[in-house]
Every structure is written in structure tokens, then in C-alpha cells.
Amino acid sequence: MTELLIIVALVVAVIAIAQVVRIFELANKIKGIKESDVTDKDNDTQGKLLLTFGVLFMASFFIMTAKWNHLLLPVSASEHGVDIDFLMSLSMGLIIVVFLITQPILFYLSYKYRGRKDRTATFISHNDKAEIIWTAVPAIVLTVLIVYGLQTWSKVMDRSNIGDALVVEVYARQFDWTVRYAGADNNLGAANVRFIGGLNTLGVIAESAYKTQISGLDNNIAKAKEQISEQQNAIKRLKIEARLAKMEAKRSTFTALVTSTPKDLLAAAEDDIVVKELHLPVNKSVHLKFRSQDVIHSAYLPHFRVQMNCVPGMNTDFVFKPTITTEEMRVETANEEFEYVLLCNKICGAAHYNMQLKVIVESEEDYNKWIAEQTDFFGANN
């Protein structure tokens, strides 16, 4: 109700202002004053208003910075995040310095050289020296920033030392995240969205999953064939036959996927662990792999300065090293309820806001204890 009243008040205020402006226009017409006529008094008034606005504008910058600066992300909790933060601070620092120099000058000069009848504007067609300076300086600064940014990105995306990284998959679908750990062999099994069936919601290709899914399909196929033989209604029989064709096609797809998957990947899938929380050991490289089932999502871990798109039909990945545990970050932020979080940073549908996953960074000892308590996905379902 309050929001509705605020909207109504704003609409009424706009209408009132429009009416006041209209009254001034009518008054000027009555006085015989043209709207295009600009007097020294008008210029003086507008110059003072602009200068006042400039002062308030600059003051608001400092006030908002002081009031809301604490809402920015805390210190980076990943190794590469330090470089990302430095690049961000460098870029923003340059922008703020230029802003604080140019904006006061802009407002002051606009006021100082406001229009007067006794003042004649000076026309300068061009100035080679000035043009070279204001073109070359920004170009050099931007070149340095871009080169440094590319070097930082190359360093962040370096894959040369990930042999011992913990392998974890983050699986996206509307509107949910699921985490799959590689198990004791640290090798994720193959997966395909076409292999999804029953409890195998991630489409992980494993022989145990194949047996379970084929068994269920065979039962349904047998029932459908029996229903077709008993069904007297031609229309209903056609519907059952269409459903049977889909099930037989799905069975063929399952068989083809298992047949074409290397034996080592079939074996690797058997000890995969599927959970709804992302646990990470501190100071250990993590190789995050991403998949999406339906639309484009974006896995965003703001506190680790990590973001990677999850694209249907494509595997993407990111390697990083957490450096601050959840407990340490609670002390750092003076917030006992602080939690790391994984968000979707692409608007993926009506319930996009629901795509949040709790992330826990802990000591390697605590992580090993937690992972030992989890059950192999296929072992838990067989």
C-alpha cells in the first residue's frame, strides 16, 4: 500500500510541475515575451543554478561514498582475486581522479563564462597541440590498462598447474544448482543431458545407472506393448504407440551413449558424489566444471571473483584457489552469519532469484571429514 501511495504522489507531483510550467508559458505570452528570448537575468539565474547543482552533485558523491562504501565486497577470498581487485582499484582510481578534476572545472567554467550581452565568445577552429595531448594521453592510459588487463586475465586463466586440483562440477538448471564431486579418483565420469532418467538427474553415464534406467524402460515398454494389444480404441492405440516409439528411441540413445563412452570414464562415474552444497578446502586449487541443462546460466561466486557462463551443450570451466575459510571471513567482516554463496548472474527465467547455493570453505581436514561422510551417488541409488 505504501509503494502505491508513493507512486501516486510522484505522478501528482509531475502533473503539478507540468501545470506550473504551463502557467509560466501563458504568463509570458500575456506579457508579450517570446520563449526564445534569453536575457542576461536568465543566463545569470541558470548559471547560478548550474553552479549550485555542481556543488550538490560533488557533495553527493562524497556522501554516498562514505555512506555506502561498506556495502562493497569484502577482501578477495581467492588467490587470483587479489590481482582482479588491484586491476579494479586501479581502473576506478583513475576514473575517480579524472572525475574529481574535470567535473568541478566543468561546472565552474560554465558559471564563469555564462552568457552576457557585453561578452563576445572567442572562436578557435582548432589547436594541434591541445588535440594531440587530449588524444594521446587517454590513448596511452587505456593502452596500459588494456595490456595489463589482458596479462591479468591470461594469468587467471592459466592451466599449467592444475594437475592436483580438486575436480568439481556445478550443474545448472532452472532454477537450481547441483554439485558433483569426482570421488576418490578425482576424475569425473562422462555425462550427457540425453542420459537423464529416473534418479540420474545429471545424466551421468555409468553402467550401474544404465542398468537401472534400461530396466525401468524395458518394464514400461512391455506394459505399453501389452496395452496396445488390448486396446480396441484406434485413437488411444495410436497415442500409446507414439509413447512406445519415444521410449524405444530413448533406450537406443542410452545404449549408444554407454557403448561410445570409454571404459575408464564409465568406471570413473561410479564413485561420483552428488550434493546440494559446495564444500571447498582452503589453499587448494579447485577445478570447477560447469554444465547447463536448459538455458544459459552464469555461475557467480562474488567473494572469490569467479564468474563463468553455463551454456547448454557446452562444457566450461574455471580454476581458482580459495584462501580464506568461512570462519575467517566471518571475523574479517564482523558478521557471524556470513556465508559464501554461488549465484546465477544471468536472468534465466521467472524464478532466477532462487538460484543460490551455499558455499563452505574449510580446512582440508574438515573437508576430508565431510567428503568421507557423503555416499557415492550410484551406490546410494542401487
Helices (H), 32-166: 40-68, 81-112, 128-156
* CA–CA gap between residue 90 and residue 82 (Å, rounded): 12
Domain boundaries, the chain: 186-270
- More confident call, 281 vs 265: 281
Q: Calculate the dihedral angle through the C-alpha atoms of 343, 349, 353, 359, rounding to the nearest 10 degrees.
A: -30
Mean pLDDT over residues 66-75, rounded?
Answer: 90
Q: How does DSSP assign 196-237, residue by residue?
A: -BTTBTT-B--HHHHHHHHHHHHHHHHHHHHHHHH---HHHH
pLDDT given at position 35: 61
Mean pLDDT over residues 372-376, rounded?
Answer: 87
Q: DSSP assignment, residue 72?
A: S
**Percentage of the residues of the chain whose pLDDT score is greater than 90:** 49
- More confident call, 34 vs 27: 27
pLDDT given at position 382: 43
pLDDT given at position 238: 86
Contact 289, 48 (CB under 8 A): no
User: Using one digit for the tens of pLDDT, what is the confidence trace for 281-329?
Assistant: 999 999 999 999 999 999 999 999 999 999 998 999 999 999 999 999 9
